[in-house]
Amino acid sequence: MNKHPEPVTGVLDIDAYVPGKSAASDGVKPVKLSSNESPLGPSQKAIDSLNRKARDLQEYPDPTAGALRRAIARVHGLNPENIVCGSGSDELLSLIANAYLTSGDEAIYSEFGFLMYPIVIKASGALPVVAKETDCIANVDAILACINQRTKIVFLANPNNPTGSYLPIEEVRRLHASLPSDVLLVIDAAYAEYVQRNNYESGIELVSENSNVIMTRTFSKIHGLAALRIGWAYASGHIIDVLNRIRGPFNVNAAAIIAGEAAILDRSHVEASIAHNNKWLPWVSDELTKIGLMITPSVGNFILIHFPNDNRTAAKADAALSNQGYILRAVAGYGFPNALRMTIGKESENIAVVKILTKFMKDDQL
């Protein structure tokens, strides 16, 4: 029997990330509401910038993504030297884990946190530790109870995906204040722009005041640039220096740099995306609640829909939706076997999903 190269210990124990499906039933045109993509799409200014760049594809991109970092810094009032960009926030999470975790270390994340956390932790040879949540909200005391001498990182998605819940800034600060100074707090704020709560902060202030906090953000959601894979992180200089030492020299491509710069500077497009979500997030939540479905309160651009513990299961609802072309996200892998996550879509899409699920809940033949 021929031998073959074997990966390092632990790699084969990793459950690969499974994205949401992107195809409906055979012959049906899909309406994809499974990946939390922007219903408004990208800024026209980003599209125009991207088209202009198409003439210069022979050139390597700026290895520092300087223009993009300066645009981010301008919008958020930051020092561009404290920003690093990556190929989506996924790459940044991997870089953080690779830089600060090794065999024998532990990293903590909350019970229903983003599935990339255990992947990057295990890929670094460390042990993922799960802290229980309370009512689908990260529990600070549960996280702190998991801290020991082996703990090196705490990953906190705020807001969280797939629940849409968030921790108020007072709780985030309480968490940080109780962490040892050599434990890194990673605040994953991918959905920060959507949050309309006075007691929420994305993490910028906490980073500015401390040397063991890093905030990650993305252009894949409110900016509508998921295809270009753009993420950024804000941290103290010593953390940025570490990440710059291990990232690829051209980890952000030229199209992403120029389109991302235009997108973040187009504040009218961002405001339009926020306004759309502010209108349709509560409408969809209320309408689905009226027909007997339970909704986890969300501050993101998506909702988690829980189906009854009878014959009206999430799997059957998924089939009913797919038959008419509407694709939602199955979330059994997150610990919700009888729920679906729905991205807030265009007006017609939101209305259609409510209509389909209303009929589904009334169907006596199930």
Q: Note the CATH number of domain 44-266.
A: 3.40.640.10
How big is the chain, counted in residues?
366
What whole-number distance in Å separates Cα of residue 234 and Cα of residue 204? Answer: 7
Give the phi and the psi of residue 185 in degrees, each rounded to 5. -95, 120
Q: In the CATH scheme, what architecture does the domain 11-40+268-362 have?
A: Alpha-Beta Complex (3.90)
Q: Residue 3: pLDDT above 90?
A: no
Res 53: pLDDT: 87
Residue 64: which residues within 8 A CB-CB, separation 6 or more?
none
DSSP sequence for 211-275: SSEEEEEESSSTT--GGG--EEEEE-HHHHHHHHHHS-TT-S-HHHHHHHHHHHH-HHHHHHHHH
- Contact yes or no for 272/40 (Cβ under 8 A): yes
Tell me which of 207 and 27 has the higher pLDDT.
207
DSSP sequence for 123-171: HTT-EEEEEPEETTEE-HHHHHHT--TTEEEEEEESS-TTT-----HHH
Task: Give the CA dihedral 356, 360, 363, 366, nearest 10 degrees.
Answer: 140
Q: Residue 245: pLDDT above 90?
A: yes
Q: How far is CA 109 from the centre of its chain?
A: 14
What whole-number distance in Å separates Cα of residue 361 and Cα of residue 292? Answer: 8
- How many CB atoms within 10 Å of residue 103? 11
pLDDT, one tens digit per residue, over 57-114 is: 899 999 999 999 999 999 999 999 999 999 999 999 999 999 999 999 999 999 999 9
34 CB-side CA count, 13 A: 22
Q: Domain segments of the chain: what residues? A: 11-40+268-362, 44-266
- Contact yes or no for 157/110 (Cβ under 8 A): yes
Q: 200 exposed, middle or buried (CB, 10 Å; 0-12, 13-18, 19+)?
A: middle
Bond into 19 cis (ω within 30): no
Res 310: pLDDT: 83
For 6, 195, 280, the CA distances from 273, given in Å and listed in that order, are 47, 12, 11
pLDDT, one tens digit per residue, over 130-176 is: 999 999 999 999 999 999 999 999 999 999 999 999 999 999 999 99
**Amino acid at site 224:** G
Res 11: pLDDT: 75
What is the model's pTM?
0.92
- Contact yes or no for 314/339 (Cβ under 8 A): yes
Model confidence band, residue 20 (pLDDT cutoffs 50, 70, 90): low
